[in-house]
Structure 1
Amino acid sequence: MSVQPVESRVALPFSSTVAGAAPLTWGQKAVLQDIRETGFSLNASGAQAVAEGATVESLAARLNSLVSRHPALRVRLDTDAQGKDSQVVVGSGEIAVEVMDFGADDDPDEVGKYIDQLWLDWLMTPFDHYRDLPIRFGVVRYDGEAIYQVPCYNHLVIDGTAITLLMSEFTTGELVGGGMHLLDLVERERTPQALKANDRSLHYWESNLRDIPPRTFGETIHVDGRQGKRFWHSRFSSPAAHLAVLSIARRTGMDTSRVLFAIMATALGRAVGHSTLTAKVISSNRFRPGLAEVIAPIAQNSLVTVDLAGATVDEVVARGRRALLAGGMHAYYDPERLTELMARLDAERGYQAQVSCRINDRRMTTRRMVDEQARTAEVTMDQIIQKLPETWFSWDGTLDHLHEQAFITVEDHGDTVHLQLIFDMGCFTEEQIENFAHGVEQVAIEAAFDPDAPAGCG
């Protein structure tokens, strides 16, 4: 960077009457398991312009209030007497605001680049779960005026909905999450009602896991991967597919998330020659009583199996809806119990098996807007065709490790289908991945105005 700020810290004491040691919640166990398996930080970070007149002091005061009010923001990990992961919600301490000052002579464009790099760096920098509080907060000043805030949250204490709730409270000052808090949730998950729900979820998982193959997409056959590297990430963007999805969603009466799942399942089936897809899909669990506004990670993996054989795309949308609904109804469970179940099934089968495909619709800010567009938009094929030149695909780089064979994420863009793709190229060819990505667009366009368009999988 050609510009560097003068850095300082403002530390404020916080206190609360809510404190104590407790086991991890089911959602926390799931996040910690993901962090350890993937090696990724899984932080949530970003940069937002601050309101005119905001100061470091006013932002620090709001942060202090947020941390004092929400036990999840005062968590550190610990180990209990049996050596298992646990947590401590501290009742008092200090929270720091990291201040970065730029002078009037610094190039505003370079300052903007610094801010973009800062939140990306924080996104990738792991928290020390045992020493750090689970929130990091920065303020960027330009010529003495606060211009941006940069929050970063440890995924161990939040999910997408929790972030939205916290940022709403931070911005407006209106209190959220006034009912159940993190320590209440720990107690709730010990109740007979919760344990029965856990048992029902595990029964569902057992029925779907019993006959799965060792890995979703077979064993490693390309030992050198792509260009000598096994694990690659890439991106795909298609405004044309976005318009086609709007059309399908309007015709079928489905939300865009379900339509996108069906289209991706169909495109993947075509690319790899599979007629059935079993995948892990993130489910929010916020529909459950009392969980709508709790500040905690509530989202967990659901298990979804959809049959693609002999179906039209519209039928895959309907089948996918039923599968997603069933999976979502059984996505609230104790991950430790699920691990025990999987080990038992491995022993009974005589081989180890895992579902190694994960699909995640990560849209937080644009999903509702896009669903509203689907209810009202009058899309034409000419509009779709005009957008085709804007489609692009890129191979972006490699990773050292990937727990899944395929990790497909729908990113938060309101005017395009934007996918983040991570694949184990020991199991796929470059052609298959690019065929899948462009197949998402192809499937969507084929079915945009044709309810009888065949899925053509298997």
Structure 2
Amino acid sequence: MTEPVVERIPVAFSGPGAGTAPLTWGQKAILQDMRATGWPHNNSGAHPVPEGATVEDLAHRLGVLMSRFPVLRMRLATDADGRPCQVICASGEIDLEVATFADDVDPRAPIDYGNTLWREWLMTPLAPHTPWLLRMAVMRHRDAAVYMVLAVNSVVADGTGTLLFMSDLGIGELAGRKVDGDAIGTLELARREQTPQARRVSERAMRYWAGHLRSLPPKTFGEPRYPGRLGERFWHGRFNSPAAYLAVLAIAERTRTDTSRVLLAVIAIAIGRATGIDPLTTNVIVSNRFRPGFAEVIGPLGQDSVLTLDLGGTVDDVVARTRQAAMVAWLHGYYDPDQLDELTARLDAERGHPARITCRYNDRRLTTRPPSEEVAQGAAVTPEMIRAKLGETFLVWDGTVDHLPEQAFINVENHPETVYLQLVWDMAVFTTEQVETLLRGVEEVAIEAAFNPAAPTRVTPGQVSG
């Protein structure tokens, strides 16, 4: 592919909301994740340009965007006492990167370039390329803007927050939606989190966490058993099952439970079958946007919570336990991460050894989950429908990642009409066969219970499959 000519167009901006405040709890949480994983945690994507927009139009929109949303003008700093803080600037300048392709190149070339670029930006720290926590590029071909790439660091906004401000650019799943201009800003949120009322919320969460952390083993799935894999030990894979999706809908409809809780229960049972771990204690990533006034905050609002699931009895029993446990976990997923660090250190000292939850679950279905819940309310799934989809199931391994603090990290991805999982496993703890048994077990558990409320979990504590 012919390489484009890349230039930078400076875009000035200024807006209200300047000031300094401590980090919010969500910002602390994502920064902890960055330190633990070594990943930049960018939200990055490629998008068709809104119809009729030119490079000049997009430069103007970028300036308006930076002016309107104070958090996009944020820089991380330290205060007079050496503590991390956020600084919102009143004005500044950001570059719009423009990649111009020769007229005679294939029209697909700018799109292919943009798709490669967004994947690169996903894992590339922004700091060497821009003084801001946002980066934007436009692909130009035959004097027309044809494609664009945007990346924003998760300290600025989580997935939903990113979609909200992207609506001003006319891109993303929320394009055209009017965003609440009076939503809480990160400076105000950080100050609220210093109040006695907020501290009480965090204290309650710590009491909840203590109940789950006090009797933990050192690691969820034990110590490394396969020392030969201690080099490239963290393997990344993808699992896709439209059949499991239909089965989950059937279970959700019968049990009057949302699909997220059913999926969590089904995945936990599959883990129990493959590993013999019962009960299972796992971290779950909670979006605190359900809290009053938080729905349209442009900022990071995701934090870990914790729950423990007894995997005995029937699948429906576990779904019912998951529904209750998840509700409580979500209510205790908003807290000061510094307090959790202090609690963890104290409990480590009390038990005489460090102990960590090394299983993590994240339902990332921002736009596909609501339609799933609507369908589940009147799902008319049949065994024939499920069997017809079995041929579309796949499991692929995509290689290794450098490091992960968890032994198992399971993401439910935003793909319609399927259970699509992105996963990273510590292969110094699991065998390949065990992981593949576990993942195919997700489909098996769901199908077994789709039309049978008495389907047993078949989890035998201590018995490992694979």
Residue from 180, 191, 195 that aligns with 1:191:
195
Please tell me the root mean square deviation across aligned C-alpha atoms, in Å.
1.6
- Residues 225 and 289 (structure 1 numbering): CA distance in 2 closer, same or farther, change over 3 Å? same
Residue from 414, 437, 452 that aligns with 1:412:
414
Q: Displacement of 1:142 after TM fit?
A: 2.2
Secondary structure at the residue paired with 1:47?
A: strand
Alpha-carbon distance in structure 2 between the residues aligned to 1:416 and 1:175: 30
- Contact 1:177–1:295, Cα closer than 8 Å, also in 2: no
Match of 1:245 in 2: 248
Residue from 323, 326, 343 that aligns with 1:324:
326
Alpha-carbon distance in structure 2 between the residues aligned to 1:415 and 1:391: 12
Match of 2:278 in 1: 275
Which amino acid letter does the alignment assign opposite residue 42 of structure 2?
N
**Do structure 1's residue 223 and structure 2's residue 243 form an aligned pair?**
no
Which amino acid letter does the alignment assign opposite residue 273 of structure 1?
G
Query: What TM-score, normalized by structure 2, do the two folds share?
Result: 0.94
Match of 1:456 in 2: 458
Q: Displacement of 1:321 after TM fit?
A: 1.1
Write the deviation string for residues 390-425 of structure 1: whole angstroms up to 9, x where unpaired. 111111101221111110111111021111110111
Single out whichever of 186-195 and 4-13 deviates more from structure 2.
4-13
Single out whichever of 71-80 and 108-117 deviates more from structure 2.
108-117
Write the deviation string for residues 334-357 of structure 1: whole angstroms up to 9, x where unpaired. 101100110000000111001011
Match of 2:464 in 1: none
Q: Displacement of 1:373 after TM fit?
A: 2.1
- Contact 1:313–1:454, Cα closer than 8 Å, also in 2: yes
Single out whichever of 269-278 and 120-129 deviates more from structure 2.
120-129
- Contact 1:77–1:130, Cα closer than 8 Å, also in 2: no
Alpha-carbon distance in structure 2 between the residues aligned to 1:152 and 1:76: 16
- Contact 2:22–2:191, Cα closer than 8 Å, also in 1: no
Which amino acid letter does the alignment assign opposite residue 43 of structure 1?
N
Match of 1:91 in 2: 90
Alpha-carbon distance in structure 2 between the residues aligned to 1:129 and 1:28: 21
Q: Displacement of 1:129 after TM fit?
A: 9.4
Alpha-carbon distance in structure 1 between the residues aligned to 2:129 and 2:415: 35
- Contact 1:177–1:294, Cα closer than 8 Å, also in 2: no
Match of 2:429 in 1: 427
Single out whichever of 409-418 and 131-140 deviates more from structure 2.
131-140
Q: Displacement of 1:377 after TM fit?
A: 3.4
Match of 1:352 in 2: 354
Match of 1:315 in 2: 317
Match of 2:35 in 1: 36
Q: Displacement of 1:144 after TM fit?
A: 1.5
Alpha-carbon distance in structure 1 between the residues aligned to 2:379 and 2:181: 35
Query: What TM-score, normalized by structure 1, do the two folds share?
Result: 0.96
Alpha-carbon distance in structure 2 between the residues aligned to 1:35 and 1:222: 27
Match of 2:173 in 1: none
Q: Displacement of 1:90 after TM fit?
A: 0.9
**Do structure 1's residue 213 and structure 2's residue 241 form an aligned pair?**
no
Alpha-carbon distance in structure 2 between the residues aligned to 1:134 and 1:177: 21
Percentage of pairs with the same residue: 53
Q: Displacement of 1:173 after TM fit?
A: 7.5
Match of 2:113 in 1: 114
Question: How many residues are paired up?
Answer: 455
Alpha-carbon distance in structure 1 between the residues aligned to 2:177 and 2:438: 45
Alpha-carbon distance in structure 2 between the residues aligned to 1:382 and 1:274: 33
Match of 1:303 in 2: 306
Write the deviation string for residues 258-310 of structure 1: whole angstroms up to 9, x where unpaired. 1111110010110101121111111111121221111111111111111112x
Which amino acid letter does the alignment assign opposite residue 34 of structure 2?
I
- Contact 2:270–2:445, Cα closer than 8 Å, also in 1: yes
Match of 1:288 in 2: 291
Alpha-carbon distance in structure 1 between the residues aligned to 2:317 and 2:82: 49
Q: Displacement of 1:442 after TM fit?
A: 0.5
**Do structure 1's residue 125 and structure 2's residue 129 form an aligned pair?**
no
Secondary structure at the residue paired with 1:60?
A: helix
- Residues 68 and 139 (structure 1 numbering): CA distance in 2 closer, same or farther, change over 3 Å? same
